[in-house]
Structure 1
Amino acid sequence: MLLQYIINGLSIGSVYAIIAIGYNMVYGILELLNFAHGDVYAVGCFLTFAMITGGFNPFLAILTGVIAGYLLNVIVERFAYRPVRFSGRVTPTITAVGIAYIARNFITGIWGPQTYPFSVGIPNQSWKIGNVVMGSLQIYILIIAVALMAAITFLLKHTKIGQSVIAISQSIPTASLMGIPVNRIISVVYGAGGALGVIGGILFCSYYNDIFVGIGFALGTMKAWMASIVGGVGSLKGAIIGAILLGLVESLVAGYISTTYRDAIVWGILILLVSIRPMGFFPAQISEKV
């Protein structure tokens, strides 16, 4: 059964990683904990759900949801975060919490607080090898997650926009003096985070076959934040490894100890890890911004 739990943990951990990457990219540039990340991308997930239930092609519905997540995050950055970018850390954090509540109430006002069945129409076949059962959906999740993580890593290390992101993360004023369009790059990073969040949210809802208003907070704000802390806030590698580790721990705790107290036990393990490694296992090397 150990191998089965590991496969399950890798599947859900890959979803956490997709969401945590967007979360960490924002922190890497602005050192801002974007607590609105989950609730904002949840709007894109519910838009996808509404289009699928309305009879639209699932691929078109997913594409629309991803684009909506991108644009919504760009709008939020432009009109909510940019005006308070240099106002310390308290004001942007309060702004993020306010945006989260607005997005969550928007979803509740349209779709209500209930849980809905969710499916993108992909048949989930299962294969049994010995005592291990692996579904096609788990394979799709792993392939999509690995492809996205590889693409983002390549873009950051080998493209002009990636180098601009790294330069801005070191110093916004210096990057601006070097001719880098700081506001445009930051908007792209926020938008990419929103798009990744919608993809991760759709994969999560497909994995568990339901969607509810709390997916933004439970998955984006809590899980991505937890993964980022374990791996190292602001570190791309840390976000990925922390998310995979979180998925594995959740699966093993649920399998060997208890599903009822899974989250409580996992949070206890998190507290222990943080007490040992306060900066995470792979802390970001962020220069002090002066």
Structure 2
Amino acid sequence: MANKRQMTFEANENVLCFHGPLLYEAKILKTDWRVLDPPHGDEGPAYLVHYRGWKQTWDEWVPESRALKMNEANLAKQASLKESYPGKKKAVPKTSGMTESSDRGKKRAKDASVDKEEEFTKRPEIKVPIPDSLKAQLVDDWENITKHQQLVPLPRTPNVVQILEMYRDSKKDKKGKSDEIFQEVLSGIKTYFDKCLGNLLLYRFERQQYVDIRKRNTGKEDSEIYGGEHLLRLFVQFPMLIAHTQMDQDSINALRENLVDVLKWMQKNHKELLLSEYENASPAYQSIVKS
């Protein structure tokens, strides 16, 4: 059993790191055990990463869930994601700088982590296809925040809880209240959202907004504050999240069927669920973020 404080990655290791819906090559500068999601997040392994080819101002602390080992399977995943989101402006960095000797050294130093990675890659994979119009929304979402320094106005209406209730109501004629799997999936989506929002679903430019909104809404969960824009980001992460569970293939297939149906419904109702325009961050906010 792995030590509770064991780090999967180490300083100076090259990894693939999620930034938005895509994976980019990054180098781990520092490792630490810290809370990345104050004030109510859990303490855990964290890594200061530098994205290869990006300015130093993009360096950020990320949770372990956003980093993947640099191996053939994950490079294939990187290429697949890039193909799925052709509208992104950032080029996916090349990986030719990796040397065989450094790879061997890392593997010897982290045998337990390699075993963990091999176990992960053998688990059943869930593929959740994102409709093309929602892919475009994800690209616009990324550009609005990271390039144009805009924000999703919060709190959102409808929020995630309301969206899931709207979806449930739309299926009342087709799914009875006794459909336990259907109810469990909706409950699970909300739970995943509340667990992942602060650690996995925010861009760096949004973190100060998150701190501010949490201070003003201490009695509410994230799913009662954030809306469809961030819920859509969760669906991008579901394949990775589910791969870290012990679900069997039948359960995965049932989950996938329900997730795909939610996405189709969101696509059909996107004008009601998703913003067409974001708000510009104030100069004061931008100054705080850059400080």
Tell me whether the two structures share a fold, i.e. TM-score over 0.5: no
Identify the structure with the greater helix proportion.
1
* Higher relative contact order structure (alpha carbons within 8 Å, sequence separation ≥ 6): 1
TM-score range, shorter chain: under 0.3
Identify the structure with the greater strand proportion.
2
TM-score, structure 2 length as denominator? 0.26
TM-score, structure 1 length as denominator? 0.26
